[in-house]
C-alpha cells in the first residue's frame, strides 16, 4: 500500500465533472484579472468567515505584505510573531526593513504563547502576527486583549486555518486583519497560487484594494506605494467551486483525525506518540495537518518512507534559528519552539484518505516502536 502525504488527484476526481463550467465561464468572458469572478469569491469568503471585508490577492505571503503595508510597518519597527511557523510572516517583516521579534509557543497548541507575547511588547512594537498552525486558531481572545491594551494591530496568519473557530468565532472575524492562502497544500486550494486578506475596517479594506493594484487610487494616480498582487479570475472560479465542498471536506478531515487519534491511543505507545490536543477555546479545528509529537522522529519518518507513507515536518528549524535572520535576531533561546521543531511529524490527511490507508499508517507506526523498544 502507498499513502501519500497529500493526494490532490483524489480531490480532483471528486470535482472533475463540475469544474468545466467554471473554467469555461472564465474563458468565455476573457476577463482574467480581478473582475466579477474575484468579487464573487471575496463576497463568498467574507460570508464564510463572517468578516466585514475580504480582499483577494496573489498569495498568502502577499496577504501578509499588504496588511503590514497598511499598518505602515517599516524601518525601526518591531513585529512580534511566533518562532515556530512557516517563514512568510517574518520574511515580509524583514523585507519591509522592520525587525521580526520571535516569541515562544504554547506546547499543546503549537501556537503563540500570550504570556510570552506580553513580555515581548516594547514601544517599538508596531504589529503582532499570531499564526493559526495546522488548522487550529491561536489564543485569539487573550492575544486580542493584550494587543488592544497596547493599541497594537493584530494580523492573524490563518493560511492553514480557513474555517477554524475560537470560542465560536471564525478566523477572519477576530483580528484587524486575517490572511489566508490558497496554495495547493491548504484546505481550500486553487490551481496555483492565491491569497486573501480580511479587514474589519472599511477604510482599511479600501486601502488594501489599492495596495494590491500598485497603490492606485484613481486611474494612474497612486496614493501609496503598493505592488501587483491581483488574483486571477481562473483561480477565483476554481476556489468558488471548491468552497461549496469545504464543509464536507472539513468534516472528513475531522473524522480522519479522530480515527488516527483513537487508533494510535489504542496501541499503547505511551509518550512515544502524543496525539494533537484541542485547546479549551478551540470550537472548530479544521485539521489542515494532523501533527504528532513523536520520539525518535527522524528514524520513524525514515521507517514510514520505507513503508511508502508520506510524512512532513512542519517545521524542522524555528525561525529564530534561520540563517537569513542571523543578523536580525537577538532572542536565541525559545525552548518550546525548539522542542517542537525536533519532535513534530505530520501524517497523511486529506478528505479522500481511505480507512484502510489510515489503518495502515497506524500499523506502520506501531511496528516501528515495537521494533525500537
Ligand X SMILES: *Cc1c(COP(=O)(O)O)cnc(C)c1O
CA distance 28 to 22: 10
Nearer to ligand X by Cβ, of 231 and 365: the residue is: 231
Cell numbers 469545504 label which residue?
246
Under the binding rule (CB under 6 A), the answer on residue 61 touching ligand X is yes
CA distance 370 to 350: 27
Total of chain residues touching ligand X, rule CB under 6 A: 14
Nearer to ligand X by Cβ, of 22 and 85: the residue is: 85
Characterize the bridge pairing of strands 99-103 and 78-82: parallel
Question: From the list 114, 163, 195, 226, which residue makes contact with ligand X (rule: CB under 6 A)?
Answer: 195
Q: Using an 8 Å Cβ cutoff, are 103 and 90 in contact?
A: no
CA distance 321 to 297: 19
Question: From the list 69, 128, 147, 159, which residue makes contact with ligand X (rule: CB under 6 A)?
Answer: 159
Question: From the list 51, 88, 138, 234, which residue makes contact with ligand X (rule: CB under 6 A)?
Answer: 88
Under the binding rule (CB under 6 A), the answer on residue 86 touching ligand X is yes
Under the binding rule (CB under 6 A), the answer on residue 68 touching ligand X is no
Task: Give least dist CB 183 to ligand X, A.
Answer: 4
CA distance 48 to 29: 26
For 359, counting Cβ atoms within 10 Å of its Cβ (0-12 exposed, 13-18 middle, 19+ buried), the class is: middle
User: According to CB under 6 A, which residues from 170 to 189 bind ligand X?
Assistant: 181, 183
Q: Which stretch binds ligand X (CB under 6 A): 5-13, 83-91, 203-211, 321-329?
A: 83-91
Under the binding rule (CB under 6 A), the answer on residue 235 touching ligand X is no
Cell numbers 510597518 label which residue?
73
Under the binding rule (CB under 6 A), the answer on residue 362 touching ligand X is no
Q: Which stretch binds ligand X (CB under 6 A): 24-32, 141-149, 157-165, 233-241?
A: 157-165
Nearer to ligand X by Cβ, of 155 and 176: the residue is: 155
Nearer to ligand X by Cβ, of 272 and 319: the residue is: 319
Under the binding rule (CB under 6 A), the answer on residue 157 touching ligand X is yes
DSSP code at position 180: E
Task: Give least dist CB 318 to ligand X, A.
Answer: 14
Nearer to ligand X by Cβ, of 86 and 360: the residue is: 86
75, three cell numbers: 524601518
Question: From the list 131, 171, 205, 334, which residue makes contact with ligand X (rule: CB under 6 A)?
Answer: 131
The CB-nearest residue to ligand X is 60
Task: Give least dist CB 137 to ligand X, A.
Answer: 12
CA distance 73 to 276: 35
The contacts found for 354-361 with CB under 8 angstroms, 24 or more apart, are: 355/259, 356/1, 357/1, 357/3, 358/3, 358/256, 358/259, 358/260, 358/263, 359/263, 360/1, 360/3, 360/307, 360/309, 361/3, 361/260, 361/304, 361/309
**Close Cβ partners of 329 (under 8 Å, ≥ 6 residues apart):** 100, 102, 320
The candidate with the shortest Cα–Cα distance to 200, out of 147, 273, 134, is: 147
Please give the C-alpha separations between residue 64 and each of 139, 173, 203, 230, 302, in angstroms, as whole numbers. Answer: 19, 16, 18, 14, 35
Instruction: Report, in angstroms and rounded to the nearest whole number, the Rg of the chain calculated over CA atoms.
Output: 21
Nearer to ligand X by Cβ, of 138 and 358: the residue is: 138
Task: Give least dist CB 132 to ligand X, A.
Answer: 8
Under the binding rule (CB under 6 A), the answer on residue 91 touching ligand X is no
Nearer to ligand X by Cβ, of 90 and 273: the residue is: 90
Q: Which stretch binds ligand X (CB under 6 A): 54-62, 214-222, 241-249, 355-363?
A: 54-62
Nearer to ligand X by Cβ, of 211 and 364: the residue is: 211
Task: Give least dist CB 359 to ligand X, A.
Answer: 28
Residues that bind ligand X in the complex, under the rule CB under 6 A: 59-61, 85-86, 88, 131, 157, 159-160, 181, 183, 193, 195
Amino acid at each position: 500500500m502507498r499513502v501519500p502525504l497529500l493526494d490532490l488527484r483524489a480531490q480532483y476526481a471528486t470535482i472533475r465533472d463540475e469544474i468545466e463550467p467554471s473554467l469555461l465561464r472564465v474563458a468565455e468572458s476573457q476577463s482574467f484579472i480581478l473582475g466579477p469572478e474575484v468579487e464573487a469569491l471575496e463576497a463568498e469568503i467574507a460570508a464564510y468567515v463572517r468578516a466585514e471585508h475580504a480582499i483577494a490577492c496573489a498569495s498568502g505571503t502577499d496577504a501578509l505584505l499588504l496588511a503590514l503595508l497598511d499598518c505602515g510597518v517599516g524601518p525601526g519597527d518591531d513585529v512580534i510573531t511566533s518562532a515556530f511557523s512557516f517563514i512568510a510572516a517574518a520574511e515580509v517583516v524583514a523585507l519591509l526593513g522592520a525587525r521580526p521579534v520571535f516569541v515562544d509557543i504554547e506546547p499543546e497548541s503549537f501556537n503563540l504563547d500570550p504570556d510570552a507575547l506580553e513580555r515581548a511588547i516594547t514601544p517599538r512594537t508596531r504589529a503582532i502576527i499570531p499564526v493559526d498552525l495546522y488548522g487550529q486558531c491561536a489564543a485569539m481572545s487573550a492575544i486580542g486583549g493584550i494587543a488592544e491594551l497596547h493599541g497594537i494591530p493584530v494580523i492573524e496568519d490563518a493560511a492553514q486555518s480557513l474555517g477554524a473557530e475560537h470560542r465560536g468565532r471564525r478566523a477572519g472575524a477576530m483580528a484587524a486583519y486575517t490572511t489566508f492562502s490558497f496554495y495547493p497544500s491548504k484546505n481550500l486550494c486553487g490551481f496555483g497560487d492565491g491569497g486573501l486578506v480580511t479587514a474589519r475596517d472599511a477604510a482599511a479594506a479600501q486601502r488594501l484594494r489599492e495596495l494590491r493594484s500598485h497603490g492606485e487610487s484613481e486611474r494612474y494616480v497612486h496614493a501609496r506605494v503598493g505592488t501587483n498582487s491581483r488574483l486571477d479570475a481562473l483561480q477565483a472560479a476554481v476556489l468558488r467551486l471548491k468552497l461549496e465542498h469545504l464543509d464536507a471536506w472539513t468534516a472528513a478531515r475531522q473524522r480522519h483525525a479522530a480515527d488516527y487519534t483513537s487508533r494510535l491511543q489504542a496501541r499503547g505507545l505511551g509518550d512515544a506518540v502524543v496525539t494533537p490536543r484541542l485547546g479549551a477555546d478551540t470550537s472548530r479545528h479544521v485539521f489542515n495537518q494532523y501533527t504528532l509529537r513523536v520520539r525518535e522522529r527522524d528514524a520513524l519518518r525514515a521507517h514510514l518512507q520505507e513503508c511508502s507513507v508520506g510524512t512532513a515536518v512542519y517545521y524542522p528549524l524555528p525561525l529564530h534559528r534561520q540563517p537569513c535572520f542571523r543578523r536580525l535576531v537577538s532572542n536565541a533561546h525559545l525552548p518550546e519552539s525548539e522542542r517542537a521543531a525536533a519532535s513534530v511529524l505530520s501524517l497523511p490527511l486529506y478528505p479522500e484518505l481511505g480507512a484502510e490507508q489510515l489503518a495502515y499508517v497506524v500499523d506502520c507506526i506501531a511496528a516501528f516502536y515495537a521494533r525500537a523498544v
